[in-house]
């Protein structure tokens, strides 16, 4: 089962590792700061387009963000 809390924790950790504010990440994704906050707090998930954007931006796998694996290895472009 999809764990929104784990997605939120991983997204928060990645955002902080890259020294980004919620507002800055929201601008990158084209969403509001509140939407980023809701994801990080496990209140909501995200759609496939945003998941792709997050994986591409942070260079991590979707499996990692979704909690399928603990290996963040990215095999993208």
What is residue 75's predicted lDDT score, i.e. its pLDDT?
77
DSSP string for the chain: ---HHHHHHHHHHHHHHTT--HHHHHHHHTS-HHHHHHHHTTS----HHHHHHHHHHHT--HHHHTTS-S-------
pLDDT tens per residue, range 9-64: 999 999 999 999 999 999 999 999 999 999 999 999 999 999 999 999 999 999 99
Say which CATH topology domain 4-65 has: 434 Repressor (Amino-terminal Domain) (1.10.260)
Give the span between the Cα atoms of 72 and 11, in whole angstroms: 12
Give the span between the Cα atoms of 2 and 56, in whole angstroms: 20
């Amino acid at each position: 089962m999809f764990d929104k809390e784990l997605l939120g924790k991983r997204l928060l950790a990645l955002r902080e590792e890259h020294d980004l504010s919620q507002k800055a990440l929201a601008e990158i994704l084209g969403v509001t700061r509140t939407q980023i906050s809701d994801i990080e707090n496990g209140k909501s998930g995200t759609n496939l387009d945003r998941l792709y954007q997050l994986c591409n931006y942070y260079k991590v796998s979707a499996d990692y963000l979704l909690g399928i694996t603990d290996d963040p290895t990215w095999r993208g472009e």
